[in-house]
Amino acid sequence: MNPVDRREACLIQAAACREQAAADPLNHDHWIDEAIRWLELAHAPATQLVVTIDPRPSKPVRTTAA
């Protein structure tokens, strides 16, 4: 998933949570908190994982975050 798709998906989730907050007054605060969490994820930098695989089976797989 590219960063734009990821961001858009998070924004859609945030909007759904805001709608749920309006429809569910008893749990309004919960849904607003969820919406905020999705908005924070939408604006957080996307992290990528770089995996280096050695074709020799005796070597362990090394992973690093980029």
Token duo for residue 32:
């607003």
Torsion of CA 22, 28, 33, 37, to 10 degrees: -30
Torsion of CA 30, 34, 18, 39, to 10 degrees: 150
What pLDDT does 18 receive?
97
Boundaries of every domain in the chain? 3-65
Distance CA 62, CA 54 (A): 8
Tell me the pLDDT of the chain (66 aa) as tens digits. 566 788 999 999 999 999 999 999 999 999 999 999 999 999 988 776 566 666 665 555 555 655
Q: Amino acid identity of 37? A: R
Record the tokens describing residue 6, joined without a space. Answer: 């990821």
